[in-house]
Amino acid sequence: MSIAEGSVLTHAIRIHPFAGPLGAEVSGLRRESVVPDTVKEALRVALSTHLVLVFRGQSMSPQALLAFAALFGEPVTHQFVQAVPPHGQVTEIRKEPDHLHNFGGAWHFDLSFMACPPSATVLMAKELPAHGGDTVWSNQYLAYAMLLARCRDGIDSLLAEHTSQLAFGHGAHALSAVHPLAPRHPHSGCRYLYANPVSIRRVLGVADEAGNTLLRHLYAHAIALEFQYRHRWELGDIVVWDNRATMHKAMNDYPGERRVMQRVAVTDRRHRIGLP
């Protein structure tokens, strides 16, 4: 796939880590059509290390965005959200001035109800409100590490059932999958907390009441302020995030204004979320 038109890449990328628990800005990208393997590897390492990567001033066509996303994995089709034709894997996230609710407005991991959920997601700002509309990410390595030791020991072997029905309704094409509550990340080998408030139906092998109490505790813990990075978008920004070790949420604080984003989720089929 070529990323020539409006595309990116670099022979001299620079990574500027943010102060705080996650996130870095990447500068030095150039528009070219062939991305050297060394650059792809540098971007992948940066993503594993910093979990959220910010690329300023990009403004790509959907085709170029798709090719850019392919640097991080295999683009996937969103089962429940309409694509930007003819690019089946580029979806548009649009909130119009008369919309009350926004897409992604509750804390979540993307598509955790899939057997092989996206390993990363790429999001570009197309149209922004004058103020607000930030996106917030929370570092789930830290969330896991900061649990009490007895809680960590308790969840290490637990599995949870995820379903698309909680977020996308009970249509015929509902998906569900079982994943560990504390998987090991294939790149770091470290555990992270994987408790998705908008997808988990139940914890397997635990009585409903105890499972729900545990989940409520994990959901509240996972989004502590000290685990978070909040991105204030500028037009043309692209943000890429690790969709395993971070959760995110889009702020819905710009009533009466429009916000339009384009998004590509990518998967890494060689490294599925494994059993503990």
Within 184-213, the residues that bind ligand SIN by CB under 6 A are: none
Minimal distance in Å, beta carbon 122 to ligand SIN? 10
In the complex with ligand SIN, the residue whose CB is nearer, 10 or 89, is 89
How far apart are the C-alpha atoms of 209 and 197, rounded to whole Å? 16
Q: Does 135 bind ligand SIN (CB under 6 A)?
A: yes
41 DSSP assignment: H
Q: Does 104 bind ligand SIN (CB under 6 A)?
A: yes
Place of tokens 């057997």: 115
Cα 183 from chain centroid (whole Å): 16
- Nearest 5°: the CA angle 125, 50, 37 is 85
Cis peptide bond N-terminal to 186, omega within 30? no
Q: Which residue is nearest to ligand SIN (CB)?
A: 104
Q: Around Cβ 32, how many Cβ atoms within 10 Å?
A: 15
Written as six digits, the tokens of 200 are 């988990």
Minimal distance in Å, beta carbon 10 to ligand SIN? 25
Site track for ligand SIN across 141-180, x = CB under 6 A: ----------------------------------------
Q: Does 80 bind ligand SIN (CB under 6 A)?
A: no
184 DSSP assignment: B
In the complex with ligand SIN, the residue whose CB is nearer, 10 or 112, is 112
22, β-bridge pairs: none
Of 31-39, 102-110, 145-153, 191-199, the window that binds ligand SIN (rule: CB under 6 A) is 102-110
Site track for ligand SIN across 223-252, x = CB under 6 A: -------------------------x-x--
How far apart are the C-alpha atoms of 262 and 62, rounded to whole Å? 8
Closest CA to 125 of 62, 67, 59: 59
Q: Does 93 bind ligand SIN (CB under 6 A)?
A: yes
DSSP string, 253-269: --TT--EEEEEEEEE-T
Of 103-111, 138-146, 159-167, 179-187, the window that binds ligand SIN (rule: CB under 6 A) is 103-111
Q: Does 261 bind ligand SIN (CB under 6 A)?
A: yes
Half-sphere exposure at residue 243, Cβ-oriented, CA atoms within 13 angstroms? 27
In the complex with ligand SIN, the residue whose CB is nearer, 116 or 251, is 251
Instruction: Please provide the distance, in angstroms rounded to a whole number, between the alpha carbons at the two ends of the chain.
Output: 36
In the complex with ligand SIN, the residue whose CB is nearer, 126 or 184, is 126
Which residues of the chain form contacts with ligand SIN (CB under 6 A)? 93, 103-104, 110, 121, 123, 135, 248, 250, 261, 263
